[in-house]
Amino acid sequence: MGKKMVLTGNYAVAYAAKLAHVDIVAAYPITPQTTIVEKIAELIEKGEMDATMIRVESEHSALAATFGAAVAGARVLTATSSHGLMYMHEWLHWFSRARIPGVMAIVTRTLAPPWNIWSDHTDFYGQRDTGWLLAFAMDNQEVLDTVIQAFKISEDPRVYLPVLIGLDAFILSHTSMPVELPDEDRVVEWLGPRRQGYVIDGREPLALGNLAWPEDTEELFMDLEKAMEESYNVIKEVDREYGELFGRSYGGLIQCVHCSDAKYLAVSTGAWSGDLIEAVNMLREEGYPVGVLRVRFYRPFPHRDIWEYARGVKGVIVYDRAISFGAWGPLYTDTVAGLYNYTTKLPIISNVIAGVGGVNVPHEDFYRLTKEFIDTIEKGEEPPRIKWYHRR
């Protein structure tokens, strides 16, 4: 049993970085990520954490400096939100295409104008195609555990891709919860030395990123995709090992609650999955055969695991805390496409978009929306495919 502390989600990120013996942190403050950077600075200056902090002048430089440190052999972590993430977006592509390990925490916050500091998942989903592994936590304990696991996954030679962990603004980042910290020595021993596929430190003349002709380029990206697919197994393996060593695991890429005999599934990701689980517990008590499928890793998309639980169901309702304007929710899109890999006879899949801009969606709303979905199908009718649920 490790040490128990009462930590906000942001502090959980900072302590995870400490436990993992991160070498270099280059970050720029932005609400609501700021306390991650502040806590790390405090831990370093107090001597509790042996790392170097680069107080960069922008988020673009933050990921650039993080990349430079990583390429030169350092274990790295950075963090940002919202427009900071938008500003550094080109660097996410650079990082993964260079096949260099690294970890980043994203405190998910919506985009402007108007200025808005509260949570939705738009900034997170915007990184969908970057080639990063994308994870999303539901509570602060999971934040800490997943950040530590991220180093193990990222530095695995079967992967060598950077990992992003999302946590909801204020709901997790600034809310205190009891978090158990695993023993630092055991974490460091489990993580082992930092591994990467190459290093640029003058030991031999090596150039990263010279111009490549189209055929070479496509082959490079195809190897990236193969590594992404391989990471599916690595994520499960790491989560299992973590459970054996430290007593907690999360089900790999997805967490399923009440799924084994479910006829209906509610899919979501992020902190509000907790409220969804509460709603589904209430529905279960009333006899509704419904389960929650929480997506823990959005990339690689867990289509195999979702198919395992969705194959016999009559309906799937996907809750998205973001919308791709002109289409529908990102999680819905991938769920439908993912299931289509396995069958052309899909169950009824509905998309409810809610909580965008940080609107609070309490468990009563999840209860009502999910109940309505199930009742409609049971009656033999079709629920609307896409619904943007808004409340004041």
Partner 1 sequence: MVNKLVIEKPLYNKLPLAKPKIGVAGKTGTWRTEKPVVNNDKCKRCYLCEIYCPVNVIRVEPETGAVIDYDYCKGCGLCADVCPFNAIEMVPED
Partner 2 sequence: MSQAKPPLPYKMRDVVLPGDAACPGCPIPMAWKVLSAVFGEKMILVIPACCSSVVVGPYPNNSLKASIVHVAFASAAAVASGIAEALRRRGVNDVQVIAWAGDGGTADIGMASLSGAAERNHDFIYIMYDNEAYMNTGIQRSSATPYGALTTTTPIIGKTEHKKDVARIMIAHNVPYVATASIGYPHDLYAKLQRAKNIRGFKFIHLHAPCPVGWRFDPKYTVRVAKLAVETGMWILYEYYDRKLHLSPPSRPYLDPSKRKPVEEYLKYQGRFRRLTPEKIEEIKKYIEQNWEWVKRLM
Is the peptide bond preceding residue 214 cis, with omega within 30 degrees of 0?
no
Question: ω before 101 within 30° of 0 (cis)?
Answer: no
Phi, psi torsion values for 368, nearest 5 degrees:
-65, -45
Taking the complex as a whole, how short is the minimal distance between the CB of residue 117 and partner 2, in angstroms? 24
- Which CB atom, from 178 or from 192, has the smaller least distance to partner 1? 192
Residue at 327: amino acid letter: A
Bond prior to 114 in cis (omega within 30° of 0): yes
Residue 61 contact partner, candidates partner 2, partner 1, none, CB within 5 to 8 A by sort of partner:
partner 2
Contact partner, 69, from partner 2, partner 1, none, Cβ < 5-8 Å per class? partner 2
DSSP state of 343: -
- Residues in touch with partner 1 (CB under 8 A): 21, 23, 50, 73-75, 97-99, 157-158, 160, 192-199, 205-210, 212, 219-220, 222-224, 226-227, 230
DSSP conformation letters of 344-373: SS--EEEEEE--GGG----HHHHHHHHHHH
In the chain, the amino acid numbered 171 is: I
Q: Which does 325 bind (CB under 5 to 8 A by kind): partner 1, partner 2, none?
A: none
Residue 6: what residue type? V
Nearer to partner 2, 32 or 131 (CB): 131
Distances (CA, A) of 191 to 25, 157, 233, 261, 328: 18, 13, 17, 37, 39
Q: Which does 99 bind (CB under 5 to 8 A by kind): partner 1, partner 2, none?
A: partner 1
Binding-site ranges for partner 2 (CB under 8 A) = 23-24, 26, 52, 54-58, 60-62, 64-74, 90-91, 94, 200-202, 204-213, 216
Measured distance CA(319)–CA(314) in Å, rounded: 17
Q: Which listed option, partner 1, partner 2, none, makes contact with residue 157 (CB within 5 to 8 Å by class)?
A: partner 1
Q: Which is nearer to partner 1, 114 or 209 (CB)?
A: 209
Token digits of residue 211: 């111009």
State the nearest-atom distance from the C-beta of 186 to partner 2, in Å: 24
Query: Nearest approach, Cβ of 204 to partner 2 (angstroms)?
Result: 8
Q: Which helix (H) or strand (E) holds 164?
A: strand 163-168
Select 43 or 69, whichever has its Cβ closest to partner 2. Answer: 69
Residue found under tokens 């979905």: 373
Residue whose C-alpha is closest to residue 221's, from 70, 98, 90:
98
Pick between residue 214 and residue 312 the one whose CB is nearest to partner 2: 214
Tell me whether residue 54 or residue 359 sits nearer to partner 2 (CB atom).
54
In the complex, minimum distance from the CB of residue 287 to partner 2, in angstroms, rounded to a whole number: 56
Which entry of partner 2, partner 1, none binds 253, CB below 5 to 8 A by partner kind?
Answer: none
Residue 51 or residue 317: which is nearer to partner 1 going by CB? 51
- Shortest CB 293 distance to partner 2, Å: 37
Residues 148, 171, 238, CA angle at the centre, nearest 5°?
Answer: 20
